[in-house]
Amino acid sequence: AQKITQTQPGMFVQEKEAVTLDCTYDTSDPSYGLFWYKQPSSGEMIFLIYQGSYDQQNATEGRYSLNFQKARKSANLVISASQLGDSAMYFCAMREDTPWDSGYALNFGKGTSLLVTP
């Protein structure tokens, strides 16, 4: 079963606008972590932001914030004041804290391609 779902294959946003990238997850583990990564065309995965399942507040890192709604099992990424350099693939990932099962490996969604236009 798909553990991470990203329903937006592609998104457009105008420069300086905010954009929300959707992510829903599925787990029965009470302890888990949620991550967002950016993958430019060069291929390298760049860590953006992390949210732990027990964190009370939404994570923020500069222009990135994570809208964590635990009851809905969603972890949407909000990018404020988009820049042309934000154009890339964005992946949501989850780590379940069950090292006896999958270790600490990340389960990735299929990604959302974001294009920022002038």
Terminal Cα-to-Cα distance of the chain (whole angstroms):
39
Which one, 43 or 118, has the nearer CB to another protein? 43
Neighbouring CB atoms inside 10 A of 75's CB total: 28
Q: How far is CA 22 from CA 10, 29, 36, 72, 103, in A?
A: 11, 21, 11, 12, 26
Chain mean position to CA 65: 10
Which one, 70 or 110, has the nearer CB to another protein? 110
76-95 positions binding another protein, by CB under 8 A = 91, 93, 95
Among 3, 5, 20, 45, binds another protein (CB under 8 A): 45
Strand pairing partners for 10? Answer: 113
Residue count at the site for another protein (CB under 8 A)? 27
Among 41, 42, 56, 57, binds another protein (CB under 8 A): 42
**CA-wise closest residue to 70 among 29, 100, 36:** 29
Which one, 46 or 84, has the nearer CB to another protein? 46
92-111 positions binding another protein, by CB under 8 A = 93, 95, 97, 99, 102-111
Residues that bind another protein (CB under 8 A): 31, 33, 35, 37, 42-47, 50, 52, 91, 93, 95, 97, 99, 102-111
